[in-house]
Chain A
């Protein structure tokens, strides 16, 4: 699915009727809290099936918080998170994973004291027909590099390898939607390029992806559509192709 040149069509990128039939993830008016402090002020975004949507914003704008609220590790008191027609609000993170969400956390936080293989085996996946399921073997076929490293302690991996493992671990959940938090953060340009290929690879498999990024150049190269977030609110939405060099980008990202 997912046409590579989807950035160009979708005129304004609105989630209009065409998108609605195929909406995979529909987040509406989400309010998130860290204890008493109100950090998300009604985030609304939609992601179509097989679409790669970027969530762009400055440091501290609420990107990670949005993903955390969607997966359920940040408290929400208002709003809905609908995944293929099912509202996930009120479910624990592990239940959300089993309904089809997976988060690849920023900084590729893997379990350093476990081996690569153990990191993959730890996941308790959503159950799917065997032919669709991600197995350790399939992850190794997808990332041959990981196969060579399977016995290594994850704490000894390089940044890029760790990111690869974190993604592999995310895939083990058999997700419908992969929430990908700042994969380019703190990595050398060459490695970022490799991560970019990885993102394209994931798209080819047909995954629906939300990519939170500060590095808009990187994100827009791969995304179909993008939301700009600032102070816990979505400020702008556009097709990826239209954003580069735009006024909105300048206003909300300061570039």
Chain B
């Protein structure tokens, strides 16, 4: 309503610096195929899919403060929407692609309605049960899904069959998804979700019907998980039940924790780090799982707020500033009241809100943080 808003997303990375990060990511994403091999381009596609998947998950975890283990189920629903419509009805895969988020949203809405009868841990357990239920149905209903064999060889439009074209299609798809989610999270609706996360009781006496917003968040996250699932089909040209297994839900959790759940870019950065790191390690080590686990453990332990916060803190320290965290909390005088030092370059909001949020991801160069490099 009012002209001025900041580029705000969640936690620390707001405003100009966030846009700079997106700009760099977009540039790298667009130029990558020029330098990367076909195999590497395929790895980057994985990054794009996971970035959208994890960002959709962070709507629920980071913004609303709920832990869901059903997220992979909606991812799978999206993937199967494309593949089954193609296999059984001969519908073009792009039509399935467009429908996927809506089908996933419907499924997320219904399961969310049930899971939200409980709170906290019990909510998480219900999502686990419901997600596994969807998995088992997919796994066992062979007539519909071909069970464990999966569906393969989905026909794509000729234009996006070549790897590079497919890559750009996914860059474009990811950009749209992230732009929409970014805009929604920046709206009063996004602020409301964060208010619920911070203190749901207080949100209640501010007139917010907490459950309804939680359900909306859950549905929105589920919709874009489905969208990510459809992106997966474009990349992989197939779908299989394991996509829906609850262990697949661990991936966005990991990725979000690595990148940081307090900022909108966090999961995207996490996806970049996670995929590139996994790719690099699996090609060099036999016991790659062990190495990967240790590296992730170190990242999470050393940078509790994720890489985004970790790097920001580092930058702040290098600039000789006090932690720049939230020193503010208690005392009135502290924290330099009015002109918030760093990330609140006030004004200029309209321009920012208008612009599209740019896509994801990153070349082998691995700009953010540790591990990435050679």
Contact = CB atoms under 8 A, between A and B. Distances in A.
A174 B204 CA distance: 15
A141 to B, nearest CB: 12
B335 A156 contact: yes
A112 B332 CA distance: 14
Nearest to A67: B205
B337 A156 contact: yes
B33 to A, nearest CB: 38
Interface in B134-178: none
B2 interface: yes
A38 interface: no
Most buried by B among A97, A98, A122, A123: A122
Interface stretch (A18-26, A157-165, A203-211, A216-224): A157-165
B207 A153 contact: no
B203 interface: yes
Contact of B204 (A93, A112, A119, A135): A93
B346 interface: yes
B260 to A, nearest CB: 13
B340 A112 contact: no
Given A113-B11, A137-B2, A148-B338, A118 B207 contact: no
B192 A115 contact: no
A211 B331 CA distance: 24
A108 B156 CA distance: 56
Contacts of A115: 5-6, 8, 344
Interface string B322-346: 0000101101110111101000101
B188 interface: yes
Interface in A127-186: 135-137, 148-153, 155-161, 169, 173
B203 to A, nearest CB: 7
Contact of A113 (B194, B208, B331): B194
A113 to B, nearest CB: 6
Contact of A151 (B6, B11, B191): B6
Contact of B340 (A92, A121, A156): A156
Contacts of A250: none
B195 A114 contact: yes
Interface in A41-85: 71-73
B198 interface: yes
Interface residues of A, number: 48
B69 to A, nearest CB: 25
Contact of B2 (A73, A117, A157): A117
A16 B163 CA distance: 83
A111 B6 contact: no
Interface in B1-45: 1-2, 4-6, 8, 10-11
Given A151-B346, A152-B340, A111 B332 contact: no
Nearest to B209: A94
B328 A156 contact: yes
Contacts of B198: 111-114
Interface string B228-252: 0000000000000000000000000
Nearest to B191: A118
B205 A149 contact: no
A135 B10 CA distance: 23
A124 interface: yes
A36 interface: no
Contacts of A121: 1, 188, 191
A161 B194 CA distance: 21
Interface in B179-229: 188, 191-192, 194-195, 198-199, 201-210
Contacts of B192: 122, 124
Interface in B335-374: 335-338, 340, 344, 346-347, 349
B322 to A, nearest CB: 13
A151 B207 contact: no
A28 interface: no
A146 B205 CA distance: 22
A252 B316 CA distance: 52
A126 interface: yes
A1 interface: no
Given A151-B344, A155-B326, A173-B207, A122 B191 contact: yes
A122 B203 contact: yes
B337 A157 contact: yes
Given A137-B2, A148-B338, A94 B199 contact: no
Given A136-B2, A148-B338, A114 B332 contact: no
A150 B206 contact: no
Given A117-B5, A151-B347, A187-B332, A103 B191 contact: no
A187 B333 CA distance: 11
Nearest to B8: A115
Given A94-B208, A105-B202, A122-B208, A111 B335 contact: no
A112 B8 CA distance: 13
A111 B199 contact: yes
16 contacts: A92-B204, A92-B209, A94-B205, A94-B209, A109-B202, A112-B198, A113-B11, A118-B194, A122-B188, A122-B203, A137-B2, A151-B344, A152-B346, A156-B335, A158-B337, A173-B206
Interface of A: 71-73, 92-94, 96-98, 102-103, 105, 109, 111-115, 117-119, 121-126, 135-137, 148-153, 155-161, 169, 173, 187-188, 191
Listed from nearest, the 4 A-B pairs whose CB atoms lie closest are A159-B332, A124-B207, A118-B191, A158-B332
Given A111-B194, A113-B10, A169-B206, 6 more contacts: A94-B206, A113-B198, A115-B8, A118-B8, A122-B192, A137-B2
